[in-house]
């Protein structure tokens, strides 16, 4: 529809009047949405009558379901996110999550190494000999800042890597290309290298405010150097069972899986550099899921911070927080619909609602 049609057809309104009404309509809609948001945010969930019965029902359901099918439990672990949670973790082994940075050979600077590795794979030799020769090739890997191909310095909002932080073009730069030893040396300096055990290290907690701050820092390194798209696409990290666990059903490279399980067995924050046919991986244990069930010990503290608007990152990661927000949003939305419905009905009764006959027919003409 062009401007002349609007001037002629929109119920006889002037051009300026039409756009004024459009603007007013948009502002009114925003006000309604804001009112709805505030209404739901201020809705209170009764602990004894609502939250605890819902909590116990979910807990009982998970106890029965996960004992019958451990695969259901593993599937739910793999799908955990900002809005999903688990209240019961069965005792059939310890699961953990890992993040990693893959220094793949598909970058321009490492294509020659990839050709060498492809040729090596065609030769007949023992497994031990192959691993030694592969290591010689991978040790020559050049680390490249992959942001060079981006056209914007605002990496937070480009849509390709949701959840990854914003930082300047020069931050964390090595001012050129570096070999793997230089990179790893800088990484260990930045993160700390405590409790060395078989080339495994633990990050230094004194260098970070908490574990989340450390993992946020690791995510920056992922953004800059990682060539595995799976680390960008996964809402949660890679899930593996602890060393020695059975029925893993995993599809990871053997060396990657073995190192990941070793790190999970050591504990959160342990990291190690390990090689596969894809290249070197810098793997870190990001979280461990231990057997047991959630309780309500932190309920009052978490809810008080929700009400005050001072929730912490640990609060938001907890099952109590996620369940409370789920219930609050459900019941708050229902209460808001009922309230707004009553308001509209009262307007009808008080003749405050004006009907325009044939308005739909007029709209079709526009």
Per-residue pLDDT of the chain (366 residues; tens, 9 = 90+): 555 555 555 556 666 777 777 887 888 788 888 888 888 888 899 999 999 999 999 999 999 998 888 888 888 887 787 788 999 988 766 788 999 999 999 888 888 999 999 999 999 999 999 999 999 999 999 887 777 655 444 444 444 444 444 444 444 444 455 788 888 998 999 999 998 888 999 999 999 998 989 998 998 888 888 898 888 755 568 887 765 554 455 678 889 999 999 999 899 999 999 999 999 999 999 988 878 888 998 999 999 999 999 998 889 889 999 999 999 999 999 888 887 766 666 666 666 666 666 655 555 555
DSSP 96: E
Residue extents of the structural domains in the chain = 24-89+300-366, 93-290
As given in the structure block, the two tokens for residue 156 are 């937070």
The torsion angle over the Cα atoms of residues 102, 108, 114 and 116, rounded to 10 degrees, is -140
Q: What's the start-to-end Cα distance of the chain, in Å?
A: 8
Look at the pTM and tell me if it is higher than 0.85. Answer: no
Count Cβ atoms within 10 A of the Cβ of residue 7 and give its class: 0-12 exposed, 13-18 middle, 19 or more buried. Answer: middle
Q: Give dist(CA 16, CA 32) in Å, integer.
A: 24
């Amino acid at each position: 529809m062009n401007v002349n049609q609007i001037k002629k057809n929109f119920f006889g309104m002037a051009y300026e009047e039409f756009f004024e009404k459009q603007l007013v309509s948009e502002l009114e809609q925003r006000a309604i949405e804001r009112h709805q948001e505030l209404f739901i945010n201020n809705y209170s969930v009764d602990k004894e009558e609502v939250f605890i019965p819902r909590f116990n029902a979910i807990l009982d359901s998970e106890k029965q379901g996960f004992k019958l099918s451990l695969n259901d439990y593993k599937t739910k672990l793999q799908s955990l996110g900002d809005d999903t949670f688990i209240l019961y973790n069965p005792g059939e082994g310890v699961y953990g999550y890992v993040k990693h940075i893959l220094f793949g050979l598909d970058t321009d600077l490492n294509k020659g190494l990839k050709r060498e590795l492809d040729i090596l794979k065609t030769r007949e030799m023992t497994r031990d000999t192959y691993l030694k020769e592969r290591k010689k090739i991978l040790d020559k890997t050049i680390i490249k800042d992959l942001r060079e191909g981006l056209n914007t310095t605002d990496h937070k909002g480009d849509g390709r890597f949701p959840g990854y932080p914003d930082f300047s073009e020069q931050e964390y730069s090595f001012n050129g290309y570096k070999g793997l030893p230089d990179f790893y040396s800088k990484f260990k300096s930045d993160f700390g290298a405590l409790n060395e055990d078989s080339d495994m290290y633990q990050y230094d907690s004194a260098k970070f405010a908490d574990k989340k701050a450390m993992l946020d820092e690791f995510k920056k390194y992922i953004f800059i150097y990682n060539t595995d798209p799976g680390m960008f696409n996964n809402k949660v990290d890679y899930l593996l069972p602890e060393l020695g666990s059975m029925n893993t059903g995993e599809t990871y490279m053997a060396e990657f899986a073995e190192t990941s399980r070793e790190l999970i067995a050591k504990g959160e924050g342990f990291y190690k550099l390990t090689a596969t046919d894809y290249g070197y991986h810098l793997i870190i244990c990001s979280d461990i899921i231990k057997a047991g069930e959630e309780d309500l010990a932190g309920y009052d503290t978490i809810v008080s911070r929700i009400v005050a608007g001072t929730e912490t990152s640990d609060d938001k990661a907890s099952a109590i927080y996620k369940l409370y927000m789920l219930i609050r949003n459900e019941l708050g939305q229902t209460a808001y619909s009922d309230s707004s419905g009553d308001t509209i009905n009262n307007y009808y009764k008080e003749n405050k609602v004006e009907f325009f006959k044939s308005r739909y027919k007029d709209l079709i003409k526009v």
